[in-house]
Amino acid sequence: MRPAAERFAGHRQALAAKVLAAGVKHHKTLEAIATVPRHAFLDAGMHPQAYEDTALPIGHSQTISKPSVVARMIEILHKPRHKLGKVLEIGTGCGYQAAVLSLLAEEVYSIERIRPLHDLARAKLRPFRINNLRLIYGDGILGLPQAAPFDAIILAAAGLGIPDALLDQLAIGGRLVAPVAKNEKEQQLIMVERMSSQRYERTVLDEVFFVPLQSGLV
Protein backbone atom coordinates (compact mmCIF):
# COMPACT_ATOMS: atom_id res chain seq x y z
CA MET A 1 0.00 0.00 0.00
CA ARG A 2 1.25 3.47 -0.87
CA PRO A 3 2.15 5.58 2.17
CA ALA A 4 -0.57 8.06 3.13
CA ALA A 5 -0.01 11.78 3.18
CA GLU A 6 2.56 12.35 5.89
CA ARG A 7 0.40 14.80 7.78
CA PHE A 8 -1.84 11.87 8.76
CA ALA A 9 0.97 9.49 9.80
CA GLY A 10 0.79 10.55 13.44
CA HIS A 11 -2.99 10.18 13.39
CA ARG A 12 -2.73 6.62 12.11
CA GLN A 13 -0.27 5.71 14.87
CA ALA A 14 -2.55 7.34 17.42
CA LEU A 15 -5.52 5.33 16.14
CA ALA A 16 -3.51 2.10 16.46
CA ALA A 17 -2.73 3.14 20.06
CA LYS A 18 -6.48 3.61 20.74
CA VAL A 19 -7.19 0.17 19.26
CA LEU A 20 -4.47 -1.34 21.48
CA ALA A 21 -5.98 0.45 24.50
CA ALA A 22 -9.37 -1.05 23.56
CA GLY A 23 -7.82 -4.51 24.09
CA VAL A 24 -6.62 -5.68 20.66
CA LYS A 25 -3.24 -7.38 21.02
CA HIS A 26 -2.56 -8.96 17.62
CA HIS A 27 0.56 -7.16 16.44
CA LYS A 28 0.08 -7.46 12.66
CA THR A 29 -3.52 -6.22 12.93
CA LEU A 30 -2.34 -3.17 14.90
CA GLU A 31 0.31 -2.57 12.26
CA ALA A 32 -2.34 -2.68 9.52
CA ILE A 33 -4.50 -0.15 11.44
CA ALA A 34 -1.42 2.07 11.67
CA THR A 35 -0.89 1.76 7.91
CA VAL A 36 -4.31 2.32 6.27
CA PRO A 37 -5.26 6.01 5.96
CA ARG A 38 -8.87 5.91 7.21
CA HIS A 39 -9.61 9.47 6.12
CA ALA A 40 -9.16 8.41 2.49
CA PHE A 41 -12.35 6.32 2.78
CA LEU A 42 -14.48 9.21 4.07
CA ASP A 43 -15.91 12.44 2.67
CA ALA A 44 -13.74 15.52 3.33
CA GLY A 45 -16.28 16.78 5.89
CA MET A 46 -15.58 13.70 8.03
CA HIS A 47 -11.77 13.96 7.91
CA PRO A 48 -11.45 15.66 11.32
CA GLN A 49 -13.11 12.60 12.93
CA ALA A 50 -11.46 9.95 10.76
CA TYR A 51 -8.91 8.88 13.41
CA GLU A 52 -11.35 8.68 16.31
CA ASP A 53 -12.33 5.19 17.40
CA THR A 54 -15.95 5.58 16.28
CA ALA A 55 -18.28 4.45 13.50
CA LEU A 56 -19.09 7.27 11.04
CA PRO A 57 -21.72 7.72 8.30
CA ILE A 58 -20.80 6.82 4.71
CA GLY A 59 -24.22 7.50 3.11
CA HIS A 60 -27.12 5.17 2.22
CA SER A 61 -27.82 4.74 5.98
CA GLN A 62 -24.57 2.78 6.37
CA THR A 63 -21.44 3.37 8.44
CA ILE A 64 -17.70 2.81 8.36
CA SER A 65 -17.20 0.43 11.29
CA LYS A 66 -15.50 1.38 14.54
CA PRO A 67 -11.74 0.68 14.11
CA SER A 68 -11.32 -1.21 17.40
CA VAL A 69 -14.20 -3.51 16.37
CA VAL A 70 -12.73 -4.01 12.88
CA ALA A 71 -9.41 -4.90 14.52
CA ARG A 72 -11.01 -7.15 17.15
CA MET A 73 -12.83 -9.14 14.46
CA ILE A 74 -9.68 -9.51 12.36
CA GLU A 75 -7.74 -10.58 15.45
CA ILE A 76 -10.37 -13.26 16.13
CA LEU A 77 -10.05 -14.59 12.55
CA HIS A 78 -6.37 -15.36 13.16
CA LYS A 79 -5.72 -18.83 14.53
CA PRO A 80 -2.52 -18.97 16.61
CA ARG A 81 0.58 -19.10 14.37
CA HIS A 82 -1.51 -19.00 11.16
CA LYS A 83 -1.47 -16.39 8.42
CA LEU A 84 -4.81 -15.54 6.85
CA GLY A 85 -5.25 -17.27 3.49
CA LYS A 86 -8.37 -16.61 1.43
CA VAL A 87 -10.83 -14.27 3.17
CA LEU A 88 -14.42 -13.32 2.33
CA GLU A 89 -15.85 -10.04 3.67
CA ILE A 90 -19.61 -9.39 3.59
CA GLY A 91 -20.37 -5.67 3.51
CA THR A 92 -17.62 -3.71 1.74
CA GLY A 93 -19.15 -0.33 2.62
CA CYS A 94 -16.53 2.26 1.69
CA GLY A 95 -13.73 -0.35 1.60
CA TYR A 96 -11.77 0.48 4.75
CA GLN A 97 -11.86 -2.96 6.37
CA ALA A 98 -11.15 -4.58 2.98
CA ALA A 99 -7.97 -2.47 2.75
CA VAL A 100 -6.94 -3.52 6.28
CA LEU A 101 -7.61 -7.19 5.45
CA SER A 102 -5.58 -6.94 2.23
CA LEU A 103 -2.47 -6.27 4.33
CA LEU A 104 -3.01 -9.42 6.40
CA ALA A 105 -4.45 -12.03 4.04
CA GLU A 106 -3.24 -13.69 0.86
CA GLU A 107 -6.48 -12.98 -1.02
CA VAL A 108 -9.54 -10.94 -0.08
CA TYR A 109 -13.00 -11.03 -1.68
CA SER A 110 -15.45 -8.38 -0.51
CA ILE A 111 -19.18 -8.26 -1.38
CA GLU A 112 -21.49 -5.22 -1.18
CA ARG A 113 -25.23 -5.17 -1.99
CA ILE A 114 -25.65 -1.38 -2.46
CA ARG A 115 -24.38 -0.47 -5.92
CA PRO A 116 -23.35 3.16 -5.13
CA LEU A 117 -21.31 1.94 -2.14
CA HIS A 118 -19.67 -0.79 -4.22
CA ASP A 119 -18.75 1.92 -6.77
CA LEU A 120 -17.56 4.27 -4.00
CA ALA A 121 -15.32 1.57 -2.52
CA ARG A 122 -13.87 0.85 -5.96
CA ALA A 123 -13.06 4.57 -6.41
CA LYS A 124 -11.62 4.96 -2.88
CA LEU A 125 -9.46 1.85 -3.22
CA ARG A 126 -8.17 2.51 -6.75
CA PRO A 127 -5.25 4.81 -5.74
CA PHE A 128 -3.88 2.11 -3.43
CA ARG A 129 -3.49 -0.41 -6.31
CA ILE A 130 -4.16 -3.40 -4.06
CA ASN A 131 -3.68 -6.50 -6.18
CA ASN A 132 -4.95 -9.18 -3.76
CA LEU A 133 -8.44 -7.68 -3.30
CA ARG A 134 -11.54 -8.35 -5.43
CA LEU A 135 -14.74 -6.31 -4.98
CA ILE A 136 -18.02 -7.97 -5.89
CA TYR A 137 -21.47 -6.38 -6.25
CA GLY A 138 -23.87 -9.01 -4.92
CA ASP A 139 -25.84 -10.39 -1.99
CA GLY A 140 -23.36 -11.59 0.58
CA ILE A 141 -25.98 -13.82 2.24
CA LEU A 142 -25.36 -16.18 -0.70
CA GLY A 143 -21.58 -15.98 -0.25
CA LEU A 144 -19.34 -16.47 -3.27
CA PRO A 145 -19.50 -20.18 -4.21
CA GLN A 146 -17.22 -19.73 -7.22
CA ALA A 147 -14.31 -18.70 -4.95
CA ALA A 148 -15.09 -21.00 -1.97
CA PRO A 149 -13.85 -22.48 0.32
CA PHE A 150 -12.64 -19.55 2.44
CA ASP A 151 -10.15 -19.81 5.31
CA ALA A 152 -11.91 -16.91 6.99
CA ILE A 153 -15.26 -15.13 6.60
CA ILE A 154 -16.07 -11.79 8.22
CA LEU A 155 -19.49 -10.13 8.29
CA ALA A 156 -19.73 -6.35 8.71
CA ALA A 157 -23.52 -6.40 9.17
CA ALA A 158 -25.74 -8.19 11.71
CA GLY A 159 -28.28 -10.85 10.71
CA LEU A 160 -30.70 -12.85 12.85
CA GLY A 161 -28.41 -15.83 12.36
CA ILE A 162 -25.43 -16.86 10.28
CA PRO A 163 -26.41 -17.61 6.66
CA ASP A 164 -26.11 -21.36 5.81
CA ALA A 165 -24.35 -20.60 2.52
CA LEU A 166 -21.51 -18.93 4.45
CA LEU A 167 -21.13 -21.87 6.83
CA ASP A 168 -20.99 -24.20 3.79
CA GLN A 169 -18.32 -22.04 2.15
CA LEU A 170 -16.03 -22.01 5.19
CA ALA A 171 -12.98 -24.29 4.79
CA ILE A 172 -12.48 -27.04 7.36
CA GLY A 173 -10.29 -25.47 10.06
CA GLY A 174 -11.49 -22.02 8.99
CA ARG A 175 -13.06 -19.32 11.13
CA LEU A 176 -16.06 -17.05 10.62
CA VAL A 177 -16.79 -13.98 12.72
CA ALA A 178 -20.13 -12.18 12.64
CA PRO A 179 -22.36 -9.88 14.64
CA VAL A 180 -25.69 -11.64 15.26
CA ALA A 181 -28.84 -9.90 16.51
CA LYS A 182 -30.26 -11.31 19.78
CA ASN A 183 -33.31 -9.04 19.59
CA GLU A 184 -34.10 -5.57 18.22
CA LYS A 185 -31.61 -3.83 20.50
CA GLU A 186 -28.84 -6.30 21.27
CA GLN A 187 -26.20 -7.94 19.12
CA GLN A 188 -23.38 -10.33 19.95
CA LEU A 189 -20.17 -11.07 18.15
CA ILE A 190 -20.07 -14.79 17.31
CA MET A 191 -17.04 -16.81 16.22
CA VAL A 192 -17.60 -20.09 14.40
CA GLU A 193 -14.81 -22.56 13.72
CA ARG A 194 -15.41 -25.41 11.27
CA MET A 195 -14.00 -28.56 12.85
CA SER A 196 -15.06 -31.07 10.14
CA SER A 197 -17.52 -31.19 7.25
CA GLN A 198 -20.45 -31.48 9.65
CA ARG A 199 -19.15 -30.03 12.93
CA TYR A 200 -18.95 -26.31 13.78
CA GLU A 201 -17.91 -24.84 17.14
CA ARG A 202 -19.57 -21.59 18.14
CA THR A 203 -18.22 -19.08 20.66
CA VAL A 204 -20.16 -16.04 21.86
CA LEU A 205 -17.95 -12.98 22.36
CA ASP A 206 -18.56 -9.26 22.91
CA GLU A 207 -21.71 -7.13 22.73
CA VAL A 208 -21.54 -5.06 19.52
CA PHE A 209 -23.60 -2.73 17.33
CA PHE A 210 -23.68 -3.09 13.53
CA VAL A 211 -25.99 -2.07 10.68
CA PRO A 212 -28.40 -4.86 9.63
CA LEU A 213 -27.56 -7.63 7.17
CA GLN A 214 -30.18 -7.30 4.42
CA SER A 215 -31.01 -9.51 1.46
CA GLY A 216 -31.30 -8.56 -2.20
CA LEU A 217 -29.55 -5.92 -4.27
CA VAL A 218 -29.98 -2.13 -4.24
For ligand SAH, the closer CB: 87 or 141: 141
| Residues identified as active-site | 65
Select from 156, 166, 170, 177 the one that contacts ligand SAH (CB under 6 A).
Answer: 156
Our finding on whether 141 is near ligand SAH (CB under 6 A) is yes
Residues 6 or more apart from 81 whose CB is under 8 A from it?
none
Smallest gap from Cβ 32 to ligand SAH, in A, equals: 12
What's the min distance (Å) between Cβ of 174 and ligand SAH? 19
Q: SS3 letters for 118-129? A: HHHHHHHHHHHC
Give the nearest distance from C-beta 6 to ligand SAH in angstroms.
23
Amino acid letter for position 43: D
Q: What are phi and psi of 59, to 5 degrees?
A: 95, 165
- In whole angstroms, give the CA distance from residue 109 to residue 89: 6
Binding mask 32-61 for ligand SAH (x = CB under 6 A): ------------------------------
Helix (H) or strand (E) holding 173: strand 170-181
Residue 139 in the binding site for ligand SAH (CB under 6 A): yes
Contact (Cβ atoms closer than 8 angstroms) between residue 150 and residue 172 = no
Q: Which residues bind ligand SAH (CB under 6 A)?
A: 62-65, 90-93, 96-97, 111-114, 117, 139-141, 156-157, 211, 213-215
